[in-house]
Structure 1
């Protein structure tokens, strides 16, 4: 071999030393998720606590089917037959006091299940859907039919209607006819004697009947709709809510590729500031045969103005009663008292209140106020929900509150008006439930670590907590009805959820029942990202997932992935709902990129102050956390400060736009996917929490919306959006693109996906989108 040839080969080989490559491809990781296996979800138990049901798809069908595992033969995973699915007892229903019978509704009919007989009996088929069944006694069952409460006496075989709620107005039956219709009737009566005679007799009979009958009470809904019926334990009271439909204008989303060949409009939401309907709460007192409207004017602070109004001194603000929404009404077992949660529609207050069943008056037990917005695990939202109920003594009410900055469990003695906090610390409580004997709590918490979820048991009035799970990751527990077993969906960093079984004891071990990972998925050595903390500019310490290339790889640059939803946690120790991005981050790391995935301000899992850190300024602390994360990479991982990119979808797309528009010296390239560009065009329920309403707090929207900062674009930007997105509308990026055109910006492009909504469904779309993201980074920061 001559000298020149040896030199050529040496130079060629040297150029490939440490060359970054990956066994993964975009085509592979963005294909149908079935490629990496099938995993259980939606765990349920049968009534006898010896069968676990779950959704599963080992046959790789179009969608999951229902499967089961019998505890007597745990190695056998069986597909549930169609006949067994039809006979399966629904999860929801009402148990008798001894937990031996269950009332439930199936296909609109009322059934009674007997645990001893292991059989269900059809009780009522009334031709209309029955709702909300409840035991009144062992042989009397209450239910809702239409808008009214009925009680069925099984011993007598009789149904009695207990309320009289009617649609329309009391004037409907006696309303005056139009001039035209009155003329037609008068002319008809004058012409036809027999018709006139029959009408006179009918009117006479009605008058005679009224002389011998008391006037029947009726509650008329007028133009309102009734919903959310709550029957008391004895059937003597019915709480229900009403609303009157609003005339808010919906945004149009056109479907350009409808099967018909024509452009078709899709149903879509209205915009923030279009207030949802005012809700009213009513109490139907059966014995008094009357209805009380619940008056909220006595709630402390109901007329308070939010503090942001001080920023608009030139505007006149009226201290008026704020609109509210209501939770379910929870009746004590003796129907002596009731409790409910009431939430201000401006999101600043949540009241736990006693409801006087004789008068309909309210007595406040607890007011939780927040100048940002009320939220957190177990606290509920505008639409209701949240932890609330009675202990078995009918004296203590339980609920959750963020009063300490973290969502914890409380009980309240209504006789002494004394609140007791049951859990405490810099962690959160999730999904508390009372044990069958009412002596204990079961709940999940993040006490061990913000990135872990474990299951606990605790005495009902507080005390020592017993941790029932131990593996590092997330345990999603479904207790068997007899509470002897725990069906657990467990996952860690690199393993999707699998089903485990464990006795409800500390020392019992978890037994794995499913193993769904494919050989193809196992063949790649998936990285376990390092869970780190770094210090932000204000001293806060965000958690983040860090992916670092191997030492012998030619390190190129850094990419920051931004999770969506805003209030969501992704820097944790369990399998991510962003599994495609997790795999893409592995691919990027193979290629020499250092990847950081931050639980920025606003993310879930870290308490009230973290959640509300973005109040009135999205793109404030949540963006500066990304900038500080980039600085951390430069200072600690030798990253070139001119080679940092970003990508993310939805809220992550929004942050990417804000980063490229406001921090061009930090971020050289970014891919903004399905991103909000102007918060005044997003929905009410989410946006009004954080930014109030645009016509009331316009400065919050101007500070928070990327479209106002587009002139700051210097780096390379990819915008990708589904055309039929009914969540973040395609119009958002159309408006932004026009702004970029008018600003004569050059280093941007937009990819559109005609058949995709907010969450893509087609592997071809995912592949095209992420091929473009990879190309963006490789051609800019990856050079």
Structure 2
């Protein structure tokens, strides 16, 4: 009997042990369903980090309890007293964004459509406006005696001492009444009335006399400036309050906006969503003006005499040369050159109020000028011209004016340029035109700002490795770059108001973002504040992908992330992931914005796949030549980099050349289609998600930079659009697309579908998601999509038993 009990007990223990092992395996094994759930299962990282105005607290959004929405939390500057912020305290906080006075003792900001003035020492806010209309863009006047802001596109000034508000501009929609009356028939009738009827003459005289008297009684009224139907933007008051500069934007009247139908609606009816124009359609135009309040007149700032404004892009000159060569001498005519369309941004005044600069960009985005402006004469003097036959961009440059500011001597401005091939900091003297590079090397500088005492620059750079972002301090005139952060990965830094502390959002490739605080000193030790990850997420041993490089066919180093199975087999399967956005970096050492894909790659590696994630040509983080390597041919070097990656997998990582697949979304979906259509012997299967199929149907701002426009560079569009190559499909293709995608329209895949049908292709399928936009939001959609992707790879890349 005792023996029987021992056997039973042993059996129970065995069963319990077996159950525990099974439970443990269930806990640590990945599945598509598990990965694609609501991301809260991972834990919610802190975000939106900012300091209190007195520097005693750090605030951030966080959700450690897995609630439906994040809450505001705070922690003291020494990393203690972590707690949720009460609703009362949250409502009392000033807006994060605002403008400080020079002494950093006061701040003006907009909150809920009203303007506030905040005293930092007392912690009290004074409400400047309280209206139904929205007031915005607050700033201090140059003498800091007034708060200047905009309402209904007009500029207002509130006197801090007296509380008086003065309107500084009077922009009005429509045409000036005198201009509207220029009609011969109407003018004749008006003159007849005045000639025949005395009462009409008298009332006209009375009206004119009243208007004259009103002007005498109110001499400070701003001039009426009629802007027709144009949009007023960037209204800026000069230091002596004489000059006001502004931009007028003309929206195209004949542009056609694409419609996206929404089928799953609350009303039960199909509803149309207006989205955007297509590349090459009519675009907005820009004008820049100075309003001289002393002379009570407004005049345009023209770029007709600016160096390079008449220079046509190289691709157009080549086309004209070919056309001239084929035309007879009698047919050839010399066209009068016209200045290219451009937009002027600014104005940026020096702290002493003596100098003003503006930034201009050509509409074709091949030129960016930094120019000195004389507002009294509207004369422009070029200080720096950056020309790129591809397109202007890069960290600190972007698509607008970019980052720019004044040096402490009030004679130089600092800015970013890719002149060296990488985005670096430069200065230029507004008097002598002398330019100087403050940083240099094969790395990029971003997020630059001057210290409050204007003795140093602070910025982020990837100097250590293209896949690491560290925070640096450097003397204002250049010199040693002191690296303040040390942990491998990426650091997003917020300086405390006194600049003695750093609030850091930090992550590594297999560790999501957490909040740290550290002293603003080299080799200081960061203190971790948050622990956001769930036990369920930590139960799995997430891979640290290898960041490798390989040589492309043209000798360029290509960076990539590599995920390898623990027990890789000879001639095993492989998947290549293609990141989206084109100009984006993913082969780095911090937590990816593609976190679902990162987890999916861990899952694939568990299933025996080798996974390669490539920063192909066009990606961010590697300088100008990599960024512009896709100019006039998307699907060229960016695709050949993936073909070279496939060769690497075969030659170095024991992958079967006939068992390689790839997938990606948006730009990644586009590359997947180009790969399946033009390199069918390299890739056996591909999943194209929310993919561009014809660049002539994408937006103007992004596409025209890279491919110019369809009617001026049709060859580039034909070379770069997958729909032209669909007949090359051999392998298995999965296409997935959201039906309410307002970025890459569902029309893209509908047109490609018809093309595949007409070509008689039958080795493809289309999965549609009726409620999804470009970026999916519903876990059910993510799950369905990735189950299909995994099934595609399992059926086409694995040996079937």
1:601 aligned residue (594, 603, 617):
617
Q: Displacement of 1:301 after TM fit? A: 1.2
Comparing 62-71 and 690-699, the one that deviates more: 62-71
Distance 1:143 1:31 in 2: 45
Distance 1:230 1:620 in 2: 44
Structure 2 match to 1:303: 310
Asked if structure 2 preserves the Cα contact closer than 8 Å seen for 1:22 and 1:591, the reply is no
- Asked if 1:592 corresponds to 2:608, the answer is yes
Deviations 1:123-147 (A, max 9, x none): 3335532222222334333222333
Comparing 113-122 and 645-654, the one that deviates more: 113-122
Q: Displacement of 1:111 after TM fit? A: 1.8
Q: State TM-score, norm by structure 1.
A: 0.92
Deviations 1:555-574 (A, max 9, x none): 73011000000100000000
Q: Displacement of 1:84 after TM fit? A: 2.2
1:53 aligned residue (43, 55, 59):
59
Distance 2:527 2:571 in 1: 42
Asked if structure 2 preserves the Cα contact closer than 8 Å seen for 1:399 and 1:410, the reply is yes
Q: Displacement of 1:201 after TM fit? A: 5.7
Deviations 1:142-199 (A, max 9, x none): 2223333332233333222333322221126973899999999x99xx9xx9xx96x7
Distance 2:781 2:148 in 1: 51
Structure 2 match to 1:662: 678
Task: Summarize the alignment of residues 122-161 of structure 1 with structure 2, pairs less than 5 Å apart.
Answer: 122-125=127-130, 127-136=132-141, 137-161=143-167
1:323 aligned residue (341, 345, 368):
341
Give SS of 1:765's match: helix
Structure 1 match to 2:368: 350
- Asked if 1:542 corresponds to 2:558, the answer is yes
Q: Displacement of 1:230 after TM fit? A: 2.1
Give SS of 2:246's match: strand
Structure 2 match to 1:706: 722
2:755 aligned residue (718, 739, 758):
739
Q: Displacement of 1:63 after TM fit? A: 2.5
Structure 1 match to 2:16: none
Give SS of 1:526's match: coil
Q: Displacement of 1:318 after TM fit? A: 6.6
Q: Displacement of 1:408 after TM fit? A: 0.2
Q: Displacement of 1:42 after TM fit? A: 1.1
Asked if structure 2 preserves the Cα contact closer than 8 Å seen for 1:456 and 1:465, the reply is yes
2:323 aligned residue (288, 309, 314):
314
Structure 2 match to 1:290: 297
Structure 1 match to 2:472: 456
Comparing 317-326 and 461-470, the one that deviates more: 317-326
Structure 2 match to 1:486: 502
Asked if structure 2 preserves the Cα contact closer than 8 Å seen for 1:527 and 1:547, the reply is yes
Q: CA RMSD in A?
A: 2.4
Distance 2:739 2:323 in 1: 41
- Asked if 1:368 corresponds to 2:377, the answer is no
Distance 1:700 1:507 in 2: 50
Distance 1:385 1:46 in 2: 29
1:614 aligned residue (623, 630, 645):
630
Distance of aligned partners of 1:328 and 1:85 in 2 relative to their CA distance in 1, 3 Å threshold: farther
Unaligned runs of 5+ in 2: 1-26, 325-332
Asked if structure 2 preserves the Cα contact closer than 8 Å seen for 1:711 and 1:743, the reply is yes
Deviations 1:76-120 (A, max 9, x none): 332223332222111222222211111222223232211121111
Structure 2 match to 1:435: 451
Deviations 1:511-562 (A, max 9, x none): 0000100111100111111111111111111000011111366873011000
- Asked if 1:63 corresponds to 2:69, the answer is yes
2:118 aligned residue (113, 129, 147):
113
Structure 2 match to 1:169: 175
Distance of aligned partners of 1:180 and 1:138 in 2 relative to their CA distance in 1, 3 Å threshold: closer
Q: Displacement of 1:335 after TM fit? A: 2.6
Deviations 1:332-380 (A, max 9, x none): 1233221111101111111111111211110000111011111100113
Distance of aligned partners of 1:573 and 1:636 in 2 relative to their CA distance in 1, 3 Å threshold: same
Deviations 1:462-521 (A, max 9, x none): 011111000000001011121111110000010110000011111321000001001111
Structure 1 match to 2:742: 726
Deviations 1:45-79 (A, max 9, x none): 1111111111111232223222222236x343322
Give SS of 1:502's match: strand
1:570 aligned residue (586, 589, 592):
586
Structure 1 match to 2:700: 684
Distance 2:459 2:186 in 1: 67
Deviations 1:370-428 (A, max 9, x none): 111111001130xx241112112210111110000000000111222100100000000
Q: Displacement of 1:721 after TM fit? A: 0.4
Q: State TM-score, norm by structure 2.
A: 0.90
Distance 2:186 2:358 in 1: 50
Comparing 441-450 and 104-113, the one that deviates more: 104-113
- Asked if 1:238 corresponds to 2:254, the answer is no
1:31 aligned residue (37, 41, 46):
37
Give SS of 1:62's match: coil
Unaligned runs of 5+ in 1: 1-20
Give SS of 1:634's match: helix
Distance of aligned partners of 1:710 and 1:287 in 2 relative to their CA distance in 1, 3 Å threshold: same
Comparing 715-724 and 221-230, the one that deviates more: 221-230
- Asked if 1:341 corresponds to 2:359, the answer is yes
- Asked if 1:225 corresponds to 2:231, the answer is yes
Comparing 85-94 and 31-40, the one that deviates more: 85-94
Distance 1:425 1:461 in 2: 17
Distance 2:349 2:144 in 1: 19
Give SS of 2:95's match: coil
Comparing 52-61 and 749-758, the one that deviates more: 52-61
Deviations 1:189-229 (A, max 9, x none): x9xx9xx96x7664332233356557974321122121122
Structure 2 match to 1:581: 597
Structure 1 match to 2:99: 94
Comparing 138-147 and 408-417, the one that deviates more: 138-147
Distance of aligned partners of 1:265 and 1:180 in 2 relative to their CA distance in 1, 3 Å threshold: farther
Structure 1 match to 2:257: 250
Asked if structure 1 preserves the Cα contact closer than 8 Å seen for 2:28 and 2:539, the reply is no
Asked if structure 2 preserves the Cα contact closer than 8 Å seen for 1:555 and 1:592, the reply is no
Distance 2:393 2:133 in 1: 37
Task: Summarize the alignment of residues 7-46 of structure 1 with structure 2, pairs less than 5 Å apart.
Answer: 23-46=29-52
Distance 1:22 1:644 in 2: 27
Asked if structure 1 preserves the Cα contact closer than 8 Å seen for 2:490 and 2:590, the reply is yes
